[in-house]
Amino acid sequence: MKYVDEFRDAHMARGLVTQLHAAAAALPRPVRIMEICGGHTVAICRNGLHAVLPDNVRLVSGPGCPVCVTPSSLIDAAIWLAQQPGVQVFTFGDMLRVPGSTTTLAQVNEHTHSVQMIYSPLQVVQYAGDHPDQRCVLLGVGFETTAPMLAAAVAQAAERTLPNFFYVSAGKMTPPVMRALLQDAGVALDAFIAPGHVTTVIGAAAYQFIADEYHKPCVVAGFEVCDILDALVRIVRQLARREQRVEIEYTRSVTHAGNLKAQALLAQVFMPCATAWRGLGVIPHSGYALQPAYARYDAHKAFALPVVEEIEPAGCRCGEVLRGVCLPYECGLFGKGCTPTRPVGPCMVSSEGSCGAYFRFGVQP
């Protein structure tokens, strides 16, 4: 067992597609199911699942791409930081090409050589320790999957009492944005496919409110083709029987309680705060702020970051795409003014953005 190819078996996938069609025949009306996670969107597009779905089951992508939901004002703040003398900005690769209001981190870096792509946040702690003359800023973008690693970097910098390590809090939480979507009358969803890796950290119990308060099914799924099909079968069966439960499909990785060690470190370093999501506005308790004990690492305080106005590119419908009310190919720029090589909006830039995935894998209406 290598935990990859076994879960991509075409024979099993065909069986699950047949089972999905049989389950969907019992649906009283057409349904809209949102895959929150950008990783699911990519897997769905890559495997051509849109084309094999029953006619009465529609999948829409959600806001689960951290790069896509990062406000352009934060990118602008990171660009400003990268232009300060003696500052190095560290971030995950996906962030480099996201357009701020006028430019990208990658374009700025051609002149400043002050932006570094990281694989693990701990690299920043290492670099800061080795380069005491540089002020090192970690751009903390990511959902709950990544937040424990960001917390580990902050905690480690604090243990080493590094004076030149700084942190931009831009992490985000998934359950609050799911609640915001359920409260948004324009979105109208019947069920969620919940993100498998986020839930490995936070535990499936975090979604119980979706079943209890909003009466919708929610199934936590893995990322291989059979995982997603199995999750769809479970959701459609619940909908056909008018049931509303939180189920775990990704049983090899996810539990109801989640990873308690990761949760403990998250609680030690971060506290929930209201934060702005691109396209969705400010959502209460959906962000990670540093706890007071770690406030000295807050880049916002250390650098007096300029307050920048939020500017969306003309014609870009990323905000609606992130809420699932506009499918990528319904945007007037999709594939014309906006492509992966010349992206206008963040959903086309990121490897997990819905527009990029729909474009690369040729998903058709």
Partner 1 sequence: MCLAVPGEVLELLPDNMARVQFGQTIIAISLTFVEAVQPGDFVLAHSGFALTLLDKEEAAAQLALWHDVAAIMEEEAAARAARAS
Q: Which residues bind partner 1 (CB under 8 A)?
A: 1-4, 6-7, 9, 11-12, 14-16, 18-19, 37-39, 64-67, 92, 94, 119-123, 141-143, 145-146, 148-149, 152, 195, 197-198, 200-201, 226, 230, 251-253, 259, 261-262, 265, 350, 352
Closer residue to partner 1 (CB): 148 or 328: 148
DSSP state of 298: B
Query: Cα-Cα-Cα-Cα dihedral of 211, 215, 219, 220, to 10°?
Result: -40
Q: Which of 302, 269, 353, 325 is nearest to 70 (CA)?
A: 353
Residues 167, 139 contacting (CB under 8 angstroms)? no
What Rg value do the Cα atoms of the chain yield, rounded?
21
C-beta pairs of 329-336 under 8 Å, 24+ apart in sequence:
329/358, 329/363, 329/364, 329/365, 331/355, 334/358, 334/359, 335/359
Q: How far is CA 176 from CA 66, 325, 353, in A?
A: 14, 18, 20
Q: How far is the CB of 133 from partner 1 (least distance, A)?
A: 25
Q: How far is the CB of 280 from partner 1 (least distance, A)?
A: 17
| Nearest-angstrom CA–CA distance, 235 and 302 | 47
Give the type of residue at 264. Answer: A
Angle (CA) 221 251 182, round 5°: 35
Closer residue to partner 1 (CB): 131 or 261: 261
Closer residue to partner 1 (CB): 143 or 333: 143
Q: Which of 99, 70, 64 is nearest to 348 (CA)?
A: 99
| Nearest-angstrom CA–CA distance, 11 and 166 | 50
Helix locations, 191-292, DSSP H: 196-202, 208-212, 225-240, 260-269
Closer residue to partner 1 (CB): 197 or 323: 197
Closer residue to partner 1 (CB): 96 or 333: 96
Give φ, ψ of 257 to 5 degrees. -85, -30
Closer residue to partner 1 (CB): 39 or 319: 39
Closer residue to partner 1 (CB): 199 or 333: 199
| Nearest-angstrom CA–CA distance, 252 and 274 | 33
Closer residue to partner 1 (CB): 142 or 175: 142
Closer residue to partner 1 (CB): 105 or 333: 105
Q: How far is the CB of 130 from partner 1 (least distance, A)?
A: 17
Q: How far is the CB of 288 from partner 1 (least distance, A)?
A: 15
Give φ, ψ of 218 to 5 degrees. -145, 120
| Nearest-angstrom CA–CA distance, 46 and 357 | 8
